[in-house]
Structure 1
Amino acid sequence: MMDWTDRHCRVFHRKLSRRAELYTEMVTAPAVVHGDRDRLLGYEAQEHPVVLQLGGSDPAQLAEAAKIGADYSYDAINLNCGCPSDRVQSGSFGAVLMEKADLVADCVAAMIAAQPRPVTVKCRIGVDDQIAEEVLPAFLEKVAAAGVRHFVIHARNAWLQGLSPKENREIPPLNYELAYAMKRAFPHLELCLNGGVAGLEAVPAHLEAGLDGVMIGRAAYHDPAKVLLGADSRLWGAQDPVATAQEAALAMRPYIADHLAKGGRLHHITRHMLGLFTGQPGARSWRRMLSEAGGRRDAGLADYDAALAQMSGVPAG
């Protein structure tokens, strides 16, 4: 989710679910070590539980980045071994690491030794023409032996040449059965599924198949209500923080007001909220009004309230 999500997006998603575990966009270890840490790693306390997702392939550098992440009190540190973009491949991390299980084991061992937070791994089932049924169990065994107990498996091969990142999320066939088989083969590991899950209604079947969780990325971004609204009651038997998309939008109002008061722009937050009313009457006007306001530096709460009022028929505030 590089260039998509940020701390504002996570706060918004947290208004829809208190229990879902939120991930940062992938941040490279060199950026964490040498860059503006508060800008890259800062977040709101309400985001917990939140996981820092790192990209890298140098054990010492990843260890230092993981320690910095722990100092920022992230609940876990995740190593991305699944992203197929050219930008990631050029840095020798992401999905290309599926070909380097020994290196991944060295990386996670260093990350675990450097700090107290759990270290997790997000991976593919293989890359290019690798035989996933052979590669994935060997990868899990090797990396688990280094101390990782939680994996998120994107149930497709990644093609490192010839497919764009978008095509890599759509063209390689899904193999959910292999993910289920890995849970049977490694019952002591926490294995979660990623890939092709478009809404909350699809989650229970994967849990009933034995998996420990489901990660949903772009679907949660484009249609957050479909994925997150009602998740707490349905999956955890807990009270939902809001009952409707309108309530979620109202719950964001104090956060938006605070951001504006600190000199931030409305668009910083509302660009992540354009899909909140997907499928509902008025959704197009909501997107249009917020998008038009986002082009103005002086856009404020009045613009947000106007967009919300046309959705509910009742002035916000």
Structure 2
Amino acid sequence: MEHLKLFWSRINIPKVITACESAHLWPELIFLYCHYEEWDNAALTVMERSETAFEHPSFKEIIVKVSNLEIYYKAINFYVNLHPSLLTDLLAVLIPRLDLPRVVRIFQKSDNLPLIKPFLISVLEKNNSIVNQAYHDLLIEEEDYKSLRSVIDAHDKFDHIGLAERLEKHDLLFFRQIAAIIYRKEKKWNKAIALLKTDKLWSDAIESAALSENTKVATELLTYFVETGNKECFVATLYACYHLIPYDVVLELAWLHNLGDLIKPYEISIAKENQAKLNEVYADLKKREAKERENEVDQETGAGAFGQRLLLTNGTGMNSSTASLGFQPTGAGFGNGGF
């Protein structure tokens, strides 16, 4: 090795490579492959003779220079079998040229997905659907509902309905809540609210009804609270869905279930809004009346001025017949007797 380091530039490298192979001098062989720019052979030799030739730092430098991308996946399997603790470090240098879905499938098939959790986190920014779903699987298995909720909000490429159907059957309440949130994002309001009502997550149910901007959805939830005797949520729904629920429906429900006192603030608010609208209409009416009076005054003034102009125009004393003959009443013509 010392000889090669000193004289590698002055030797016949292919012949020395053959000699090193015959003598089983694997580190020396890898050294020559690298200086001969045979990166593919160097990487393969390291993996095949790892018991004597493997060094993680040098292998990382070699693997990023190979031309055959299939060697990447051989290297990944090699690390999984012999050096799993160094796998994440290897994947970090290979990210730019890896097929992410293929990598995920390799680990899913071998049931080693937890090994690459740091790698999955590092590539989440690419928002790949296969990567996202694999990370979701890990978080569900670990029952990490907080991270799952944050990653769903940040990265939207995955099977939304499939994940929601999976989570709504989960034993943990928090995962079922996430399922309802996904249904809400997909505008499946009835499905989301039904799931939230089952788990008695009233605040989320009311919020979902308000976000729906749907009168039917809000009215049905309000009716549900009245029928189940949940007066607090009835009032909260009136507040959150104020603009969605018809006034007559509120009055009817209050009358049928003796809730007159509870809807008093609501009625006062409605009365205030109606009065504000009446005031606005009245103010607009006054403006119109004032404008009409101004127009009438302008018309009267204009008519008088127009009549005065007619009087000045007719002040010459000429009648229509004289004007039609073309006579010009000039002083010169009459004075010279020319008529």
Q: Same fold (TM over 0.5)?
A: no
Query: Of the two structures, which has the highest relative contact order with CA contacts closer than 8 Å and spacing of 6 or more?
Result: 1
Please identify which structure carries the higher helix content: 2
TM-score (norm 1): 0.24
**TM-score, structure 2 normalization:** 0.23
